[in-house]
Structure 1
Amino acid sequence: MSDERGGPPGPAGGRRADGAGPDGAGPDGSGPDGSGARLGLRALGPYLREHRTALVVVALVSLVGAAASLAQPLLVGAIIAAVSAGASVAAPASVAVVVLVAGALLGGAQRYLLQRTAEGVVLSTRRRLVDRLLRLPVAEYDRRRTGDLMSRVGADTTLLRAVVTSGLVEVASSALVVVGAVVAMALVDVVLLAVTLAGVLTGVAAGVLVARRVRALSLAAQTRVGEMSAAVERSLSAVRTIRASGATDREAAAVVASAVAARDAGVRAAKVGAVVSPVMVVAVQGALVAVLAVGGARVASGALTVADLVQFVLYLFLLVLPLASTLQAYTLLQQGLGALTRIEEVVRLPLEDDDGPATPAPAPSVPAARTAPREEVAARRPADAPLLELEGVSFSYPDGTPVLHEVDLVVPRGSRTALVGPSGAGKSTLLALVERFHDVSAGALRLGGVDVRGLPRAAVRSRLGYVEQDAPVLAGTLADNLRLAAPAATGDDLRRVLAAVNLTALVDRSPEGLDAQVGEDGVRLSGGERQRLAIARSLLARPELLLLDEPTASLDARNEESLRAALAAAARESTLLVVAHRLSTVVDSDQIVVLEAGRVVGTGTHEELLDASPLYRGLAAAQLLVAR
């Protein structure tokens, strides 16, 4: 049944068991080694641009804060000089207190503004990423793991917060303090400045070399986190099957193994990052000892005063502390760029194109309510007025796997057409082509006489309803699910379609009525109720053509009978194209199309095919619809 889900053949819809992408690509699609393309600071531009006003304000606050920090050693020197001269220290001490308090307040304001801006960056990035993820071509979902995509929205975007709070702005503000401190130290004593720079720059150079390795290691760690998220999502989505199969321990072990791999990758990144701090400590302490030794000798020789030495030492701390912060910020920046690589890998994927003319021909109007019997609808719409036509349609997946071969099919308006055949015959793929989840490789597929490739996808889908084989029910209320394709529908509209598919009992059995919760994946509903709810949801949008993929695949006889009644109700409102394994639900169709190995091998009514199609006769006999 490789094609029955609309995805390429292979496990999990074409995904490799190890989570890797095509051609041995890494699990994140970035390359076999997971390293990804290296991004520079310029790549952060689009994520920071809309927050540039806030960043400018932060930069100005940082500039004033840097000036306050640079003024403090001067004021301390002035206090010491006043003490040495026996003068009053009230004035310089008062100014020093004011500057100190102002610097602290500015620091608090800077941290708040940075955190606020960082949260805004994370939000805008998530908004952009989610919008992108929901608009990718269907083939991308077939080859990627859902948990890994979720990890990019969660864990990867979170790392961008550190880039803003401790990254770019921190580097900029620290640079101002460093430059100011160097200038001030040069004015105090050039010899001590040379001693200081010799030790500090050696430590900085070593720290930068170490920090540059962090990006690749951080990217690898984030990739492992994505794999762990995918493993958790896989297990939770099938938790009932896992419990029933007695596989809980094995699945837990598999998830834990992925968590251990994520831990190990994180430890490797932390190990390299941890080297940065000791390198700077050694450099700072070495520079301080050297300054004190040389400075003490220069004070003893009279080349330097005690006040100058104290002032120089304070500037030394003003120099090394921002340098240490800058180096730490550089490390965080490398981690953020590693996460940005994974985010950009998704952002740069091509979206599902919405090609076609800017103003497509208007679809035929649909009456506000169409409740006449199907025979009357057919009488008003002649059988020779096709709604859907396939002419010589062939389709192969991007990897070259052929699925459909020169399929010819006509679906008249107001009719009910069934697609039957063995698993893997191409039935679900045909529906996917109608929905333009994929485009035909050859031939023409026309809706209302117009090739769908000449219409925007949104225009095509607005005329269609689609009920998948495992009809998804979204967590929320009955009303939430029904209004998915018709958000403006009224309560009366909802009750009308529920009654049409015999689901009025869903509203009556709960005091919440239409606001009753259906549970995660519709767990509070039976299989038959989920299928009929999906049909009701599609009918609410009043589609011209309703596509149903195996609506009775997992139903018992009683639910199958209810669903047959729902299909009859749907046929009164829309043209139907139904994929069916159970022939009993489609024997009364206007036409039945038999597919085998991607080719049409028979078309006709139930009685006609029993006489003309050996394959159909065999399927009917296997389901006890006819004597063998």
Structure 2
Amino acid sequence: MPPNTCAAGRTPLTSLLSYVRPHAPGLLGGAALMFLGGLANLAQPMVVKSLIDALTGGTPYREPMLALVSLLLLSVVVGVWGMYLVELTAESVVLTARRRLVTRLLRLRVAVVDGAEPGDLMSRVTGDTTQLRAAATSNVVDLVAGILQIAGAVVLMARLDPVLLAVVMVVLLLLAAVTLALVPRIRRAGEQAQEAVGGMGAVLERTLGAFRTVKANGAEEQQARAVHAAARQAWRRGRQAARWVSLAGVATGLAVQVAFLVVLGVGGARVAADELPVSALVAFLLYLFYLGGPVTQLVGGFTGLQAGLAAVRRIDGIADLAAEDLSRPADRDRAGAPVTVRFRDVSLRHRPDGPAILDRVDLRLSSTGLTAVVGPSGAGKTTLLALVERFYEPTTGQVEIDGRDVREWPLAELRARIGYVEQEAPVLSGTLLDNLTMGSARTSEPWLAEVLERTRLVPLLRRLPDGLHTAVGHRGASLSGGERQRIAIARALLRRPGLLLLDEPTSQLDAMNERALGQIVADVARTTTVVMVAHRLSTVTRADRIVVLEAGRVRAVGTHADLVDGCDLYRGLAATQLLTGIGTRQPKQSPDARHPQQSSDIAAI
């Protein structure tokens, strides 16, 4: 799970301000208008005092009445415009945060993402940035505006009656002490609530990612219980956060009510003793009512800021994770040149105390031809390809491309020269063209047409209602497994790679399409280095060389004929894939007439 700490050298508050800084003009403009509206509200009690004095003294009251109406209109108009500017700025802040976060996420190392929960990462992009939105704009404005408005009200209340002001200040200080005591609890509860929401997203993502498996096994209720348990945990954490925020709100309301009652009693006594005019008491009470808004604003801004800072910690936790440097552009001009691959005493462990995924692999692959990698499940075949792509870094040893350690290559340039087809052959939501030209947006139409022909995708193209511009659905739901596999292969070939890595590309192809793909691969291998993880013997026998892996070690390298004669492990694998009983070297047995197809397969060995 990614850590919930800010990037090194930054506090959550400075990190929060870094999101605000690019949008400071809009935020300051909105805050200034809102503050102007606050000043208009602040002047109203003094105008009301003048109006009462005019009415009780028999003097003209037209001017104070007009002034009061003007102040009301001004406070409404500038307040609305100020709030609108702040909300606009808030949207810009959250857009900037999400762009920055998504960019960072897509540059994380594969090993880091493998160890994280995708649902939690998604929660940081969605829920946490929403919390950041309020904290970086409205909460900050509420804090500043609340402080300034309270200060202005206190100055004017001091002019009206210092004794009553002293009573109010005692109540405000008590409120401040209560709020400060609640801040750590509010912050901690907010962090726990957001982590719980991220955990719920992770559970739900895992369930939806295996949706068909859940359905096929009748596990809806079981998975629903797991998601419900995570949702209940989020609810429980949310209740804790709400409890402390509500307590702060209740304390604010109670403080204002207590202050009003005390001022009313003390002020009434001072009016009765002719120590304070009635108009001054009314104005003072109006200021006290007015103070309820800024005080609530201040406390709300403070508690909201704590939730926002908790979100910043989670967002900036992504910045602490290991990321790839993709700053240097790819050298597209060399993308089609064949390469040589060399593994020099390569070992890989995901943890220092963990088992060896690869163990002292020493291997050289020539610049052209097809190399098949075979071995039992868990032998490290896919990991071998991942090291070439630098999805993982070797624990010891080095992987070289054209005599140069892959760690010395700029990543963008390295991967521009490699075409990679995963075993799952993922297809993203979007059009067929989007999936084919992923990372190869400048592909020419003639080359695209040629690749579609070579990968036998033309019949699919003709069948789709909008051709290349047909939406393929979430994860290619409208396509068959074989079609997704061919799309992934076409995507790799469109890059004109110098090195083509295929992780079991024939796993979802029928015999006819497998033979067609074999012809494509053989053609590509004449001018390109092709390394293919394979399980089907019909695929392996076409290879120029075969690498046999077991338990992370290279057991043998050679042609099919060489390995059948000299490698018991390979011979056993080949026999198993042919569904024969050959586990030892017994090819001289006469074929069983009841199984002619099996006999021909044995003869092929």
| Shorter-chain TM-score above 0.5 | yes
Aligned to 1:302: 274
SS of 2:77's equivalent in the other structure is helix
- Counterpart residue identity of residue 497, structure 1: V
- Counterpart residue identity of residue 369, structure 2: S
Question: Which runs of 5 or more structure 1 residues have no equivalent in the other structure?
Answer: 1-20, 22-27, 32-36, 368-380
SS of 1:213's equivalent in the other structure is helix
Give, in whole Å, the separation in 2 of the partners of 1:360 and 1:77. Answer: 73
How many angstroms does 1:250 deviate by?
1.1
Give, in whole Å, the separation in 1 of the partners of 2:346 and 2:130. Answer: 46
Write the deviation string for residues 448-501 of structure 1: whole angstroms up to 9, x where unpaired. 222222211111111100001111111111111011021112443322111111
Does 450-459 or 287-296 show the bigger shift? 450-459
Aligned to 1:198: 170
Give, in whole Å, the separation in 1 of the partners of 2:406 and 2:560. Answer: 30
Residue 478 of structure 1 pairs with residue 432 of structure 2:
yes
Give, in whole Å, the separation in 1 of the partners of 2:18 and 2:551. Answer: 48
Cα contact 2:563–2:570 (8 A) shared by 1: yes
Aligned to 2:454, which of 483, 497, 500? 500
Structure 2 vs 1, CA of residues 566 and 235 (structure 1 numbering), >3 Å: closer, same or farther? Answer: farther
Q: Map 1:38-437 onto structure 2 (within 5 A).
A: 39-353=11-325, 364=334, 366=336, 387-401=340-354, 402-437=356-391
Q: Map 1:422-571 onto structure 2 (within 5 A).
A: 422-571=376-525
Cα contact 1:200–1:320 (8 A) shared by 2: no
- Counterpart residue identity of residue 171, structure 1: L
SS of 2:357's equivalent in the other structure is strand
How many angstroms does 1:517 deviate by?
2.1
Cα contact 1:192–1:291 (8 A) shared by 2: yes
Does 274-283 or 127-136 show the bigger shift? 274-283
Cα contact 1:388–1:411 (8 A) shared by 2: yes
- Counterpart residue identity of residue 183, structure 1: V
Aligned to 1:575, which of 515, 521, 529? 529
How many angstroms does 1:40 deviate by?
4.2
- Counterpart residue identity of residue 304, structure 1: L
Does 547-556 or 136-145 show the bigger shift? 547-556
**Identity level (%):** 46
- Counterpart residue identity of residue 484, structure 1: M
How many angstroms does 1:627 deviate by?
7.0
Structure 2 vs 1, CA of residues 237 and 433 (structure 1 numbering), >3 Å: closer, same or farther? Answer: same
Question: Which runs of 5 or more structure 2 residues have no equivalent in the other structure?
Answer: 583-605
Write the deviation string for residues 551-592 of structure 1: whole angstroms up to 9, x where unpaired. 123444444334334433443553210011222212111100
Aligned to 1:25: none
Give, in whole Å, the separation in 2 of the partners of 1:581 and 1:548. Answer: 12
Give, in whole Å, the separation in 2 of the partners of 1:58 and 1:361. Answer: 47
Cα contact 1:539–1:573 (8 A) shared by 2: no
How many angstroms does 1:95 deviate by?
1.1
Aligned to 1:3: none
How many angstroms does 1:532 deviate by?
1.3
SS of 2:398's equivalent in the other structure is strand
Residue 29 of structure 1 pairs with residue 25 of structure 2:
no
Q: RMSD in angstroms over aligned alpha carbons?
A: 2.3
How many angstroms does 1:549 deviate by?
0.8
- Counterpart residue identity of residue 258, structure 2: G
Give, in whole Å, the separation in 1 of the partners of 2:517 and 2:336. Answer: 24
Cα contact 2:518–2:539 (8 A) shared by 1: yes
Structure 2 vs 1, CA of residues 84 and 347 (structure 1 numbering), >3 Å: closer, same or farther? Answer: same
How many angstroms does 1:278 deviate by?
1.8
Residue 602 of structure 1 pairs with residue 572 of structure 2:
no
Cα contact 1:387–1:412 (8 A) shared by 2: yes
- Counterpart residue identity of residue 542, structure 2: D
- Counterpart residue identity of residue 390, structure 1: F
- Counterpart residue identity of residue 326, structure 1: L
Give, in whole Å, the separation in 2 of the partners of 1:563 and 1:259. Answer: 47
Give, in whole Å, the separation in 2 of the partners of 1:154 and 1:472. Answer: 24
SS of 2:200's equivalent in the other structure is helix
Write the deviation string for residues 514-565 of structure 1: whole angstroms up to 9, x where unpaired. 1122221112222121111111100001000000112123444444334334
SS of 1:405's equivalent in the other structure is strand
TM-score by length of 1: 0.88
Cα contact 2:109–2:324 (8 A) shared by 1: yes
How many angstroms does 1:208 deviate by?
3.2
Structure 2 vs 1, CA of residues 523 and 574 (structure 1 numbering), >3 Å: closer, same or farther? Answer: farther
Cα contact 2:545–2:558 (8 A) shared by 1: yes
Give, in whole Å, the separation in 1 of the partners of 2:333 and 2:580. Answer: 42
TM-score by length of 2: 0.91
Give, in whole Å, the separation in 2 of the partners of 1:100 and 1:190. Answer: 27
- Counterpart residue identity of residue 462, structure 1: A
Give, in whole Å, the separation in 2 of the partners of 1:342 and 1:405. Answer: 37
How many angstroms does 1:73 deviate by?
1.1
Cα contact 2:200–2:234 (8 A) shared by 1: yes
How many angstroms does 1:423 deviate by?
1.3
SS of 1:87's equivalent in the other structure is coil
Structure 2 vs 1, CA of residues 627 and 276 (structure 1 numbering), >3 Å: closer, same or farther? Answer: closer
- Counterpart residue identity of residue 3, structure 2: G
Write the deviation string for residues 341-391 of structure 1: whole angstroms up to 9, x where unpaired. 111111332312459xx7999974638xxxxxxxxxxxxx9xxxx611222
SS of 1:408's equivalent in the other structure is strand
